[in-house]
Structure formats: C-alpha cells, structure tokens
Structure 1
Amino acid sequence: MRDLVGLTGTKFGCGMALRGACTVHVDGQPIRSCVTPASSVAGKAITTIEGLSKDGTHPVQRAWQEVDVVQCGYCQSGQVMAAAALIKRKPEPSDADIDAAMAGNLCRCGTYQRIRLAVHRAAELSKESGHVA
C-alpha cells in the first residue's frame, strides 16, 4: 500500500501483527495489513486512514484533534482505524469496550488515557452528526 499505491498513512510497525500501526479495514473489519496477503483481500473493500475522510472530518479524526491525542504519531493511523471500527460496531462503547478493542494497538508515548477520551468523544460526534463511523 505504501510503496505501490502511495497510501502512506498506514504504517509498518513490526511485521508480526503485534503493534497495530498497520491496521486497515477489510469489508469494515479491522485487520493487520502487515500479515495479510494481498491475494486474501482480492475483491474486498479495503479502507485505509486516507479513506475515512478526504478532509479530516470523520468523527474519530475530529475527536483525535480535539482531545490532542497525538504525540509522536507513529501508531495513530492504526489507533484511529481501530477506534472507527469499534464505534461502527458499538456506537456507545464503555471503557471496557474501548480497552478491549484498542488493546492490540500499542502506543510508545503512552497516550492511552487520551485515546480512551477521544473514542468517547468520537462516539458523541458520530451521534450528533448522524455519521456512521
């Protein structure tokens, strides 16, 4: 995706599906792209962070900015994609839902409390706007 298609938002983290920086959606489900062969997703809808919105107005992207989640930013595309999938599946997630859904996405900077706040805020923004995450 990064080299051939030019979609550089998805990061390569570990190559073993352990960090989450490579998270994309396949048919709406979050997957780790670093261990997913292209042949296994042929004909399926693939959404990278660039596909959430062209202008950063997706509720999760807006919430990330409002809460000021990002420090170094390396893991954030994977975090955002995992959060968007969670809110689509569960529009009003509890802290436990958020912790479970985000558990596999590692952040070296330790912004987990802000990530949780941003997921709650994204859920509010989705509800207010009627936008299905």
Structure 2
Amino acid sequence: MSHDHHNTVDVSVTINGESRTETCEARTLLVHFIREQLGQTGTHWGCDTSNCGVCVVSVDGQPVKSCTMLAAMADGSDILTVEGLEGDDGLHPIQEGFMECHGLQCGFCTPGMMIAAKSLLEQNPNPTEHEIRDGLSGQLCRCTGYHNIVKAVQYAADRLNAQPEGAAS
C-alpha cells in the first residue's frame, strides 16, 4: 500500500509578482515545479547535472540553478523567471541587448543567460568584458561563441547606467 499523500508538500512562492501555492511531490525539483506546476515554461531544463545553466532563475534576488534545488526549499521565496523580465514599459534592457546584439541563436540557453546577466549587472553595474565572461561562466551556450552575448550584456549595462536613478526595476 502506498502512502503518496505523505510525500507531497504545499509550496507557496511569488513568481514574477504573482502569489501561487501548489502541491507537489516532496522530491520535485524547482525547475519542474516552475515549468509543470506554475506553467512558466520559459525556464528551460537542460543537462540534469547542474553544468549547463539553462535552468537559472532568480530566487530572492540570487541566481540559482533550479535543477539543483527542491521546490520545497523555495517555499516562501520570490522567484523571477525570464517571463518576469519584461516590465510595463516594455522589454528589459537585457532582453533588448540580446535582440539588438544578436546574443542568441537557438535560444535554448537564453532565459538562464538573461537571468544570470541581470544578477551580474546588479552586482557589478559596469563590468569589463572579462568580468562578464567570468560572471556568465556557469552558462553554457553551444551556438554563439559568447561574443555577442558579451556585447548584449554591455549594451544592457549602458542602457541601465543611462537610466535616471530609481527608474530601473
């Protein structure tokens, strides 16, 4: 006789500004919770070994590889995924940068790359090329050679630094 109901947990998060509570298996990884229970499929699931970084989301302001964290550990957290980047006034400067500088090809790594880049620019608003490459070293991209991704992050940094104080979210 199985007691499946003992192995479930209720997880409450704020995702992209919306409060959600869902029941999941205790062993559910955050990436699967976000995709399957919360329906935010912009967060991709790649390698299952925490090497590729495509599953990066922001949890309470910190970039997290969501395949390495149980959904239950995120209970009470504020999560930002790629779907939450766009604001009322349009695309986030990071999204704009990836578009303007051709920072993506197949797009599979892009959501995690954008969230990692946002975190990097929050820590270091004016990074050098080396600092950008270092800051994104946990993100694998198989298409671009990273050159245009670096340009996209520099573009976003310039845009964010040009905004009046308090205008950037």
Report TM bin, short chain: over 0.9
Is 1:42 aligned to 2:92, yes or no?
no
Q: Which residue is 1:14 aligned to?
A: 47
Q: Which residue is 1:5 aligned to?
A: 38
**What SS is found at the alignment partner of 1:46?**
strand
- How many corresponding residue pairs? 133
User: More helix per residue: 1 or 2?
Assistant: 1
Q: Which residue is 1:80 aligned to?
A: 114
The 1:17/1:132 distance shift into structure 2, 3 A limit, reads: farther
Question: Which of these residues, 20, 29, 46, is aligned with residue 62 of structure 2?
Answer: 29
Tell me the CA shift for residue 132 of structure 1: 3.7
Tell me the CA shift for residue 66 of structure 1: 0.7
**What SS is found at the alignment partner of 2:58?**
strand
CA distance in 2: counterparts of 1:114 and 1:92, whole angstroms: 17
Say if 2:63 and 2:116, in contact at 8 Å, map to a contact too: yes
Gaps of 5+ in 2: 1-33
Q: Which residue is 1:95 aligned to?
A: 129
Give % identity.
39
CA distance in 2: counterparts of 1:33 and 1:91, whole angstroms: 24
CA distance in 1: counterparts of 2:116 and 2:37, whole angstroms: 24
User: More strand per residue: 1 or 2?
Assistant: 2
Tell me the CA shift for residue 50 of structure 1: 0.6
**What SS is found at the alignment partner of 2:138?**
coil
Q: Which residue is 1:69 aligned to?
A: 103
CA distance in 2: counterparts of 1:39 and 1:4, whole angstroms: 13
Name which structure has the greater RCO, CA cutoff 8 Å, separation 6+.
1
CA distance in 1: counterparts of 2:148 and 2:80, whole angstroms: 24
Structure 1 segments of 4 or more deviating over 3 A?
130-133
Tell me the CA shift for residue 3 of structure 1: 1.2
Say if 2:103 and 2:144, in contact at 8 Å, map to a contact too: no
TM-score (norm 1): 0.93
Aligned 1:103-114 pairs, distance under 5 A: 103-114=137-148
TM-score (norm 2): 0.74
Say if 2:104 and 2:144, in contact at 8 Å, map to a contact too: no
Pairwise CA RMSD of aligned residues?
1.5
Gaps of 5+ in 1: none
CA deviation digits over 1:27-54, x for unaligned, max 9? 1110100111011111111111111115
CA distance in 1: counterparts of 2:96 and 2:148, whole angstroms: 13
